[in-house]
Amino acid sequence: MSFIPNTGAERAEMLKAIGVSSVEELFSDIPAHLRIKGLDLPEGISEIEALDAVDSLAERNVQTKKMDWFLGAGAYYGYIPAVVPALAGRGEFLTAYTPYQPEVSQGTLQAIFEYQSMAAKLLGMSVVNASHYDGATALAEAVLMAWKARDNRPRILLPADLHPEYKQVIETYCTSFGIEFVQYEGAPEAASFDEKTAAIVIAYPGFSGEVYPIRKAADRAHEAGALCIVQADPVMCALMKSPGEQGADIVSAEGQSLGNPLNFGGPYLGIMGTTEALVRRMPGRIVGETKDKNGKRGFVLTLSTREQHIRREKAVSNICSNQGLSMLQTCIYLATLGKQGLKEVARQSYDKAHYAAELIDRIEGYRVRNSQFFREFLVETPKPASQIVKTLSRMGIMPGLALSRYYPERTNELLVCVTEMNTRAQIERLAAALKEASK
Amino acid sequence: MAIDKNARYLESHEYAKPSGEYMVFGISDHAQAELGDVVFVELPSVGKTVTKGAIFGTIESVKAASDLYAPISGTVVEVNEAVKNDPSLVNKDCYGTGWLVKVAPSNPSEFQSLLDPAAYGKTIGEE
Amino acid sequence: MNTINMRDEPLVYELSRAGRTGCSLPRSDVPEYAVPGELVREELDLPELDELTLVRHFTRLSQKNFSIDTEFYPLGSCTMKYNPKVNEVAASNPGWKNLHPLVGDENAQGALELMWRLQEGLREVGGFAAASLQPAAGAHGELSGVLMISAALRARGDEGRKKMLIPDSAHGTNPASCTMAGFVTQTIPSGPDGNIDMTALKAALDETVAGIMITNPNTLGLFETNIEEICRLVHEAGGYVYGDGANMNALAGVFKPGSSGIDVMHFNLHKTFSTPHGGGGPGAGMIAANTSLAPYLPGPIVVKDGDAYRLAMPPKSIGRVKAFYGNFGVLVRAYMYLLMMGADGLRGVAENAVLNANYLKSLVEDVYPVPYKRRCMHEFVAKGTVAEGVHTLDIAKRLIDYGFHPPTIYFPLIVQEALMIEPTETESKETLDLYADALRRIAAEAATQPELLHEAPHDAPVARLDEVMAARYPILCYRG
């Protein structure tokens, strides 16, 4: 299968028009000794064969749908209404490029503007950009943005309770700048702010699921001349106060749970929002509303002087692409669920998680560690959590994440996630199985 | 292109113009024409010090961004808020209402070292 | 005549009516728990639409786009080739969509095997020792690559080397990536033949050089004929060579960048390997390296132990550049493509991409001046200087009226009034003939009716938009 329309006769005709005798001649600028005869790969196969090969690999994976699923930890199993992929998968969206020619890209541009609007209102920010690669890179870019906006004050306050992979991505992104990361435990307002602090990062909620209000910490940051960055769960923001309402200057979030499938970790959606005051320091594409010469409303990429294709080495970031389709899925998801639907998803996740925590906390040997949480909580287990995960998996239950995956010394802690997909029966089965496994 | 006779210039097209005991900074008519429609200016706040030859702000059109270099050293005493709200003033009246910042010079003699109107005219190919 | 949807389409907020919804959830079967008072959210301003209104809205929006599925889309440097439909089918298998990234290696053997096979396949295509699928886009691959160079320099006690050389024809992401890795860039000019100016290069190679970033074929669509010599000189000076693989569509199966001395390179799977551009992304920017830089690759990568696959961090890895393992859904599509093309198919891609570009160039170069008189690779750069008072922008906008997406314009920066045209191998000769015909007709119009061009497009949902107003008084969020 090659998808190449040129026939032999056409190739001959085209070569003649160019004035060469062979295709090989077209490659004459490549030094002859560097030109290869072929690749050490199998020959191409048909669509049927390729699909069979890939489908058979897909079948060798464990799937959320076939188990009672309580594993989250940064990637969430939520419902995606059928209209979301049906509309986002339309060829006109799927096979368009970045909307650099606005007159023939109004579809993509207006969808981005709608996404920006809905995401901004959800997070309580003035502006959201057209997206980053994922929540972790959005947070890393937020840290760099704050560091530069605060005249390179060297210190960033990071919560100990932050997704470990996010922490690692921040470290990678900041390798070259001598930024000093100071870790704080517990409530963010108790962190130590000083004149060297550029920003505080608040995880809302933390990796453990624990939720701390933001307002006091934001005020303390501002008094110290620092910025307040919030890494938010966007679904939680439908039920609990948004970061913007509580004084955040920059918000990053993982948008996967807003209408994007798990896909073994990607593509996901890095949401980033900020205030009007900081918008010209924000990385990423931004779409703005304007008018054409006849006064008709239209949308364009704007504030482009921040970006690499204009500012080059002085750009605020090197980011070029956005997660277009993931963003579009989220745009359609937010419009589909709307005000009531998203609240209901958040409400059910919250209630079901609290119901599960209540049941588990009652089982001898188990203790729920959180005092305030949304849909995820940390459980102390009587046996190594990795062992419990194995045992329950065999019974068709994925009970959560054994924390030893990231912290080898934390053997007896299990991070349990409950979403709108879980039923009361599943939660009760989980509790029963946990009890059984403790024996 | 207009060249204000009372101002002196950098080759990078910024000017300084005496205004009482202060100096007003802006960009030349030639620079605003080259840049096109100005959409944004970023300027230092009052009280900040600026250093001759160093960047004190940026000025942007839709497809270009230029750093602004200080013609002389000093302390910012006033920022043109009107131009921040309506950057088109730079295009309309770069030597008048489109000025950028007012500075108390730390070394007034630096003014003499700038290009005079005739010398600046030559650098942009005008007599 | 375009098929594009000319009707105005309201915003979702304008279509919203209180009380409507486009979804239903099962009724909750657990008790309700109180949210702490200080955290209760009062207002949530999201739209309320029924499903049909929503379907029409997004369908109509889609119809306001040009796309590969609907129009010829010859954007230079973007490789807008056909995106096979079967790739979408393969990627939508529940075995991928419902696969959680933290299930553990033993529960994701199918996914890990796919990643390993793709890693190995692309390693062979590029001629490198090892690869990582982590980067989510080309620019992300660049950042990873220059961070790898930075780490390797640090490891050998050479952190004082801070100068990265960038040809003047480079994509803007190259210098921007360097800044993010703490390097200072120095621009190297191109010579009269479109290659890197070797004298300027030699002069720049001092003891502060960290390396060079090279796009080959470069953004003029020309093969950098001195590539081996450039790599040798940079290596002798103690630097590394980064390859920007944006233009691999010209080379797969013909030339292996790794064998010319490139130390580390990214592949744009959304270009060469046919995954959809999606109106801006998601891409995938897999990165590959030779033995000197392979230990620094971002991780985790997939390794094979006997019959089993597992995730592992390369020994001196720069770390993670994103959460989890790359844009996996994009990788599935790229792997499908690799399987279907195989060794023979990939060679055919390069041959026909280069053939199509040279053919189209031969049809228009007498009217649109081509500044570098050489055989082009998969794309060529011409100038829109066809008539006094008419600019490249005008030509681009007029192409829309003819039902074609404009080429990349005003890039590379070193060619005034540049039109950068990349037809790709999936376009037929008829399409190329029609496009050339449109370009020639537009050149004739430019001479006789320039206002037709200045006012273009005439046949699009909106006329030229006021970008000055958009940037001066930004409206970035619905204010209803």
Q: What are the boundaries of each domain within chain C?
A: 1-64, 88-341
Give the SS3 label for residue A126.
Answer: coil
Pairing mode, strands B101-105 and B55-60:
unpaired
Please, are residues A204 and A232 in contact by the beta-carbon 8 Å criterion? yes
Please, are residues B75 and B47 in contact by the beta-carbon 8 Å criterion? yes
- Check CB contact under 8 Å for A310 and B42: no
The pLDDT averaged over each successive group of 10 residues in chain C (480 residues) is 85 97 93 96 96 98 97 96 97 98 97 98 97 97 98 96 96 95 96 96 98 96 97 98 95 96 97 96 96 98 97 98 97 98 96 98 98 95 96 97 96 94 98 98 97 96 96 94
CATH code: domain of residue A351: 3.90.1150.10
Burial of A429 (0-12, 13-18, 19+ CB in 10 A): middle
Nearest-neighbour CA in chain B from C469: distance (Å): 8
Q: What is the pLDDT of residues B70-89, one digit of tens each?
A: 999 999 999 999 999 999 99
Backbone angles phi, psi at B93, to 5 degrees: -155, 70
- Check CB contact under 8 Å for B64 and A310: yes
Comparing alpha-carbon positions, the chain C residue that sits nearest to A211 is C39
Answer yes or no: is B14 within a domain. Answer: yes
Residue A252 β-bridge partners: A231, A272
Pairing mode, strands B65-69 and C240-245:
unpaired
Q: What is the DSSP string of C364-399?
A: HTTTS--SS-S--SS-EEEE--SSTT--HHHHHHHH
Q: How far apart are CA A272 and CA A227, in angstroms?
A: 15
Say yes or no: C451 contacts chain A, CB-CB below 8 A.
no
Q: How confident is the model at residue A2 (pLDDT cuts 50, 70, 90)?
A: confident
Contact list in B for residue A310 (CB cut-off 8 A) is 63-65
- Check CB contact under 8 Å for C472 and B88: yes
Q: How many CA atoms lie within 13 A of A85 on its CB side?
A: 12
The reported pLDDT for the residue numbered C480 is 78
Mutate which: C8, C58, C437, vs A, most A CBs within 10 A: C58
Answer yes or no: is A32 within a domain. Answer: no
Q: What is the DSSP string of A130-176?
A: S-BS-HHHHHHHHHHHHHHHTTT--EEEEESSS-HHHHHHHHHHHGG
Say yes or no: B107 contacts chain C, CB-CB below 8 A.
no
Contact list in C for residue A403 (CB cut-off 8 A) is none
Q: How far apart are CA A342 and CA C49, in angstroms?
A: 13
Residue A289 β-bridge partners: A299
Say yes or no: C258 contacts chain A, CB-CB below 8 A.
no
Q: How many CB atoms lie within 10 A of CB A192?
A: 12
Omega of the bond leading into C300 within 30 degrees of 0 (cis): yes
Helices (runs of H) and strands (runs of E) counted in chain C: 14, 12
Answer yes or no: is A19 within a domain. Answer: no
Chains within contact range of chain B (3+ C-beta pairs < 8 Å): A, C
Q: What is the pLDDT of residues C139-185, one digit of tens each?
A: 999 999 999 999 999 999 999 999 999 999 999 999 999 999 999 99
The boundaries of the domain holding residue A211 are 83-333
Contacts of B57 (CB under 8 A, 6+ apart): B41, B42, B43, B44, B67, B68, B100, B101
Q: How far apart are CA A340 and CA C24, in angstroms?
A: 10
Q: Give the total residue count for chain C.
A: 480
Please, are residues A233 and A240 in contact by the beta-carbon 8 Å criterion? no
Q: How far apart are CA C296 and CA C203, in angstroms?
A: 29
Say yes or no: B42 contacts chain A, CB-CB below 8 A.
yes
Chain B, 68 to 127: residues with Cβ < 8 Å from chain A are none
Chain C, 409 to 468: residues with Cβ < 8 Å from chain B are 467-468
Give the SS3 label for residue C165.
Answer: strand
Please, are residues A125 and A244 in contact by the beta-carbon 8 Å criterion? yes
Q: Are residues A259 and A236 in the same domain?
A: yes
The boundaries of the domain holding residue B61 are 8-107
Say yes or no: B36 contacts chain A, CB-CB below 8 A.
no
CATH code: domain of residue B12: 2.40.50.100
Q: Are residues A319 and A357 in the same domain?
A: no
Omega of the bond leading into C282 within 30 degrees of 0 (cis): yes
Greatest Cα-to-Cα distance within chain A, rounded to the nearest angstrom = 84
Contacts of C385 (CB under 8 A, 6+ apart): C369, C416, C417
Q: How far apart are CA B87 and CA B106, in angstroms?
A: 28
The reported pLDDT for the residue numbered B125 is 85
Burial of C71 (0-12, 13-18, 19+ CB in 10 A): buried
Integer angstrom CA distances of residue A131 from A337, C114, C168, C442 = 20, 27, 29, 37
Answer yes or no: is A23 within a domain. Answer: no
Q: Are residues A388 and A359 in the same domain?
A: yes
* Residue whose C-alpha is closest to residue A244's, from C478, C18, C45, C11: C45
Residue A152 has pLDDT above 80, yes or no: no
Q: Are residues A358 and A308 in the same domain?
A: no
Nearest-neighbour CA in chain C from A194: distance (Å): 26
Boundary (domain end) residue, out of A278, A311, A333? A333
The reported pLDDT for the residue numbered C25 is 92
Please, are residues A351 and A243 in contact by the beta-carbon 8 Å criterion? no
Answer yes or no: is B40 within a domain. Answer: yes
Q: How many CA atoms lie within 13 A of C348 on its CB side?
A: 19
Q: How far apart are CA A78 and CA A431, in angstroms?
A: 21
Give the SS3 label for residue A228.
Answer: strand
Q: How far apart are CA A268 and CA B38, in angstroms?
A: 37
Would you state the structure tokens that stand for residue C461, as one six-digit string?
């949902």
The reported pLDDT for the residue numbered A4 is 96
Omega of the bond leading into A267 within 30 degrees of 0 (cis): yes
Answer yes or no: is B115 within a domain. Answer: no
Q: What is the pLDDT of residues A378-414, one digit of tens each?
A: 999 999 999 999 999 999 999 999 999 999 999 999 9
Omega of the bond leading into A205 within 30 degrees of 0 (cis): yes
- Check CB contact under 8 Å for A314 and B65: yes
Residue A1 has pLDDT above 70, yes or no: no
> In this structure, which topology does domain C88-341 adopt according to CATH?
Aspartate Aminotransferase; domain 2 (3.40.640)
Nearest-neighbour CA in chain B from C157: distance (Å): 33
Residue A315 has pLDDT above 80, yes or no: yes
Would you state the structure tokens that stand for residue C142, as one six-digit string?
């660049």
The pLDDT averaged over each successive group of 10 residues in chain B (127 residues) is 95 96 96 95 95 96 93 97 96 97 95 95 83
Please, are residues A303 and C471 in contact by the beta-carbon 8 Å criterion? yes
Contacts of C366 (CB under 8 A, 6+ apart): none
Dihedral, CA atoms, B55, B91, B99, B42, nearest 10 degrees? -40
Boundary (domain end) residue, out of A300, A318, A333? A333
Say yes or no: A280 contacts chain B, CB-CB below 8 A.
yes
Pairing mode, strands B55-60 and B65-69:
antiparallel
Integer angstrom CA distances of residue A379 from A370, A388, A436, C100 = 8, 12, 16, 20
Give the SS3 label for residue A99.
Answer: coil
Name the domain count of chain A. 2
- Owner of token pair 């942009």: B124
Say yes or no: B82 contacts chain C, CB-CB below 8 A.
no
* Residue whose C-alpha is closest to residue C248's, from C341, C116, C372: C341
Please, are residues B74 and B80 in contact by the beta-carbon 8 Å criterion? no
- Check CB contact under 8 Å for C468 and B62: yes
Contacts of B110 (CB under 8 A, 6+ apart): B52, B71, B72, B73
Please, are residues C123 and A87 in contact by the beta-carbon 8 Å criterion? no
Q: How far apart are CA A129 and CA B122, in angstroms?
A: 45
Q: How confident is the model at residue A376 (pLDDT cuts 50, 70, 90)?
A: very high
- Check CB contact under 8 Å for A304 and B40: no
Say yes or no: A305 contacts chain B, CB-CB below 8 A.
yes
Say yes or no: A318 contacts chain B, CB-CB below 8 A.
no
Boundary (domain end) residue, out of A280, A306, A333? A333
Please, are residues C243 and C291 in contact by the beta-carbon 8 Å criterion? no
Q: Are residues A166 and A264 in the same domain?
A: yes
CATH code: domain of residue A314: 3.40.640.10
Dihedral, CA atoms, C57, C63, C66, C71, nearest 10 degrees? 150
Sign of the four-CA dihedral A55, A59, A61, A66: positive
Name the domain count of chain B. 1
Nearest-neighbour CA in chain A from C382: distance (Å): 16
Residue type, C470: A
* Residue whose C-alpha is closest to residue C140's, from C176, C102, C164, C187: C176
- Owner of token pair 């009531």: A340
Q: Are residues A74 and A87 in the same domain?
A: no
DSSP at C291: T
Q: What is the pLDDT of residues A228-254, one digit of tens each?
A: 999 999 999 999 999 999 999 999 999
Greatest Cα-to-Cα distance within chain B, rounded to the nearest angstrom = 38
The reported pLDDT for the residue numbered B127 is 52
Q: Are residues A267 and A367 in the same domain?
A: no
Q: How far apart are CA A303 and CA A129, in angstroms?
A: 11
